[in-house]
Copies of this chain bind each other. A is one copy, B any other.
Amino acid sequence: IADQSDSKLLKLMEELHYADVTEIVHELGQDEGTYLIKLLDSNKTSDVIAELDEDVREKILENLSDKEIADELQELDTDDAADIIGELPEERQEEVIAQIEDEEHAAEIVELLRYDEDTAGGLMAKELVQVNENWNVLKCVKEMRAQAEEVTRVHSIYVVDDQNRLKGRLSLKDLLTTSTRADIKDVYIPKVDYVKVHDKAEEVAKVMSKYDLEAIPVVDELGRLVGRITIDDIVDVIKEEAEKDYQLAAGITQEVDAEDSILDLTRARLPWLFLGLMGGVGAAAIMGGFEEILENYAILFFFTPLIAAMAGNVGVQSSAIIVQGLANDDVKGSIADRLVKEMLLAMLNGAILGIVLFFFTWIWQDDHLSALAISISLFVVIIVAGIIGTFIPLFLDKRGIDPAIATGPFITTSNDIFGILIYFWIAKLILNI
């Protein structure tokens, strides 16, 4: 497609939304992608650059001059511009910022760079519409027109006092239906949800989705309005959060996707596999310790994968429910209550599965004592696995550690080892070996 007729290409691209152009750049790769971006005007390409995956963007920015990058950033909202600059090598950051013509824009970007990526400050943009409580509606509308030029989408209009402290908000709807002579002081809504600049991104997401907000103002320690966060950034936070938890549950550490290199994927996957290997070696060592019963009760060894699998599955189920409950803030009651409930649940599941396994093993091996030993062990293992799966994430959460790391291979591996140990121990007891 590319390299043929620039004007034809240009025309085609102009028709497309920037998100579609972004997809095209992703497919073209570094060289042709850069070519395309240089070809288009910076109005659209700045959005394209903001939408690109981090690794692709890094490569394309390497091919652009400081000045070219600065021009692109000029077109972007401060939050996106700050994100992009934050990814550049440090020496380059200063050079690019120095090239931004609009000094106010540059100063705002520098301010945003100060905040941690995972906080409200890291998510917010400086672009917002604010009015002083002492203005009247007419002045307000005038000022808003000027400010609105800069702001892509107007959500709420924030009302501040002379010290720039957030006082309340005005809706566009109200403004449409109020006399132009009224004072803002008399018409604004003094109740407004806000977040503090150092609040965690996750917290912001919770507040915004709980109250169904489309934008939320951000204030500093003194209550002064410093920025605003829009729902589209929060949608990204929610998605990333969900992907991270999902990957942790599947035993993948870093954020990777199907298109990453084999080396990156190995780095993300190998640590958990290594943990699994250690667990398996541990299980093998335990079984080695019970070698003396192998001769008479070989059947016990045939069921070790079953015991390990069930211990792992029950553990993952229990921990997943807890992890999700914690994320949604709907885990109530004490840890003890939780453990009792999980124990009852595991007893019910364990009893059903134990009975099924008993009859199967009895029919297969015609040895009801072995069958009983295996089934009762399964019953106990399921209960212990459920308790471990419930306790670990609750414990981690109490200690301030992300409970999501407890799901997946971590639980599976520890439950494998515990499961097999308990299994042989109980079986020996019942069989009187």
A residues with a Cβ closer than 8 A to B are 17, 19, 26-27, 141, 144-145, 148, 153-154, 171-173, 176-177, 193, 209-212, 214, 231-232, 234-236, 238-239, 242-243, 245-247, 249-252, 256-259, 262, 265-266, 269-270, 272-274, 276-277, 279-281, 283-285, 287-288, 291, 294, 298-299, 301-310, 312-314, 316-317, 319-322, 324-325, 328, 330-332, 338, 341, 344-345, 348-349, 352-353, 356-357, 360, 364, 407-409, 412-413, 416, 420
Each complex incorporates copies of this chain amounting to 2
Contact (A273, B314) CB under 8 Å given A279-B309, A308-B309: yes
B317 and A276 contact, CB distance less than 8 A: no
CA distance A270 to B345 in the complex (A): 10
Chain B proximity of A32: nearest CB distance (Å): 15
A357 and B19 contact, CB distance less than 8 A: no
Chain B proximity of A406: nearest CB distance (Å): 12
Question: Could you pull out 19 A-B pairs where Cβ atoms are within 8 angstroms?
Answer: A154-B172, A209-B232, A209-B239, A235-B235, A242-B242, A242-B246, A249-B320, A259-B330, A262-B348, A272-B313, A273-B349, A276-B306, A277-B356, A280-B305, A280-B306, A280-B307, A280-B309, A294-B301, A305-B416
**Residue of B with least CB distance to A286:** B302
CA distance A328 to B23 in the complex (A): 12
- Which of chain B's residues have a CB closer than 8 A to the CB of A273? 310, 313-314, 317, 349, 353
